[in-house]
Structure 1
Amino acid sequence: MSTNSLRSEITELYQRYDNGQVTASEAGTEEYATLDAFLDALETGDIRAAERQGDEWAANEWVKRGILLNFGLREIRSHTYGDVTYHDVLPLRETGDLPGRGTRNTPDGTVVRRGSYVGSDAILMSPAFVNVGAYVGDGTLVDSCDTVGSCAQIGANVKLGANTLIGGVLEPVENAPVVVEDDVSLGAGCRVTSGFVVGEGCVVGENTLLTPRIPVYDLVDEEIRYGRLPPERRAFTRFVESGVGEHDLFEGGAYKPAVVATDIETTTLEGTEREAALRE
């Protein structure tokens, strides 16, 4: 089925569902065939929950509606994963195609849900979880205890450090999900949520929280940004003075988290120079 045909069928089916003309108990062979073809297209990368349009990322609203349809029109069923029986509307993704593309998923807890894309030469370390609608690019490492949320878009040659959380944005359908562009390295324990975009080539220090509600102090362009880390930045968490000021409940004023972004090449050079000085 072509992408245009699939889009038309999903759009028509969603209208019927939204108008109460079809429910999970009423869905039949034709509806399930459309839903299965939709999930297959997500897994092959033929469709994505978000795409880059110029310098911005935009959600494909019809794709996100297709994911919602799979929740709304499917009954909860029992499924088996190893020795575990679980109950969900979606089974896990078949992973037999991964070895032929050089991708490996380690045992004992690597969970890849139906409707997610995993590229070639990628590594999924257990325990890790990749949700429906997520896109994991070629050569990317999803390390132990990582979560890649629904519709999150992870680029090629990305390193997600252990215990990293990439949030999911399924609703509202018009909102773009979390995006981590190519060649990014996220340190262990990072959190990226609420549609934040991490620009290409960034290196982010461990335990950094990236969310549109926390300011990014970009020292390269000397701007305060929200919701995006520009490409080729080294970023880390710092605390800045809060507008709350002093209060009877605490002394010395209040502070709030912020992210500081510096030029990645300059920072790396300074670090090398400091190392050389110490060795002398």
Structure 2
Amino acid sequence: MSLQSDIADLWARKQEGLTAADATDDHLATLEDFLAALEAGEVRAAEKSGDEWEANEWVKQGILLNFGLRETEAREYGDVAYHDVLPLRETADLAERGTRNTPDGTVIRRGAYVGSDAILMSPAFVNIGAHVGDGTLVDSCDTVGSCAQIGDDVKLGANTLIGGVLEPVEDAPVIVEDGVSLGAGCRVTSGFVVGENSVVGENTLLTPRIPVYDLVEEEVLYGELPPERRAFTRFVESSVSDHDLIDGGAYKPAVVATSVEEETLEATEREDALRE
């Protein structure tokens, strides 16, 4: 049987009442093989099909099984004692691939993939099912949530939150595609997709509940930022402005997206003018 079919069989047994107390050595061996496949990048919680990202339900089921069929145990991380169903990820393989994880608080949970030539600055946290691509920087105080898919050569600015998702299993996680730069303090949640080579200004909230005003294609989008965009937060008038209790109007956050190429050209022109 394949790993996928093993997980599907175990998931069915779990729905029929299998508990951690009932789990056998064979069951736990399947879960170990599954975590190893995640860490090796052989399976992913979501993959791109054409232009769309699709969640791999069976992978998310495998992650949930690791919580449902394991007992909580006392564990240690340096001098810190904690209790969890999973240990932290072994990191010896990272150095072999040129990846650095700095000390004093960098935490990588089992089942997380970290690519080659990546940098994880402390304190940062990478959760189970997350995929961090080659050459990516996870800066200080960043959180990469469960199943989040971070591409190659991405920069996550300090204090950035990438939201996680496990349930419902059919929902796609947060996606940050190749070459994206997120400024410090950004928040990306609820399955939002950040298109490749986009640059997002600091403290920007990207979530499907906040509209993205794409000035390039002149359309309003929800849940995605197209590729090659420069995005930043602005405030637009809210419909509650007409309420008698609100004096002077009310405004709600929005994201405005322009062309990265235009912004880069303007910056280059300003630099040239300063040098003349």
- Aligned-residue offset at 1:274: 3.4
Partner SS for 2:22: coil
Q: 1:146 is matched with which residue?
A: 142
Task: Tell me, yes or no, if the aligned pair for 1:7 and 1:62 is still in contact at 8 Å.
Answer: yes
Find out whether 1:133 has 2:159 as its counterpart: no
- Aligned-residue offset at 1:279: 5.6
CA distance in 2, matches of 1:106, 1:274: 37
- Aligned-residue offset at 1:272: 2.6
- Aligned-residue offset at 1:45: 0.3
CA distance in 1, matches of 2:130, 2:74: 23
Of residues 118, 126, 141, the one that matches 1:122 is 118
Q: 1:70 is matched with which residue?
A: 66
**Which amino acid in the other structure matches residue 19 of structure 1?**
E
**Which amino acid in the other structure matches residue 154 of structure 2?**
V
Task: Tell me, yes or no, if the aligned pair for 1:98 and 1:104 is still in contact at 8 Å.
Answer: yes
- Deviation per CA, 1:97-136, whole angstroms, max 9, x where unpaired? 1111000100000000000000000000000000000000
Of residues 211, 217, 242, the one that matches 2:213 is 217
User: So what's the TM-score if we normalise by structure 2?
Assistant: 0.98
CA distance in 2, matches of 1:29, 1:278: 68
CA distance in 1, matches of 2:140, 2:244: 43
Q: 2:246 is matched with which residue?
A: 250
Find out whether 1:17 has 2:14 as its counterpart: yes
**Which amino acid in the other structure matches residue 228 of structure 1?**
E
User: So what's the TM-score if we normalise by structure 1?
Assistant: 0.96
**Which amino acid in the other structure matches residue 215 of structure 1?**
P
- Aligned-residue offset at 1:243: 1.1
**Which amino acid in the other structure matches residue 174 of structure 2?**
V
Q: 1:7 is matched with which residue?
A: 4
- Aligned-residue offset at 1:277: 4.1
Of residues 99, 103, 109, the one that matches 1:113 is 109
- Aligned-residue offset at 1:278: 5.2
Alignment of 1:75-94 (within 5 A): 75-94=71-90
Q: 2:229 is matched with which residue?
A: 233
Which blocks of at least 5 consecutive residues in structure 2 are unaligned?
none
Task: Tell me, yes or no, if the aligned pair for 1:156 and 1:183 is still in contact at 8 Å.
Answer: yes
Q: Which runs of 4+ in 1 moved over 6 A?
A: none
CA distance in 2, matches of 1:249, 1:132: 46
Which blocks of at least 5 consecutive residues in structure 1 are unaligned?
none
Q: How many residues align?
A: 276
- Deviation per CA, 1:160-184, whole angstroms, max 9, x where unpaired? 0000000001111101000000000
CA distance in 2, matches of 1:62, 1:250: 49
Task: Tell me, yes or no, if the aligned pair for 1:246 and 1:252 is still in contact at 8 Å.
Answer: no
Q: 1:271 is matched with which residue?
A: 267
**Which amino acid in the other structure matches residue 242 of structure 2?**
E
CA distance in 2, matches of 1:173, 1:236: 31
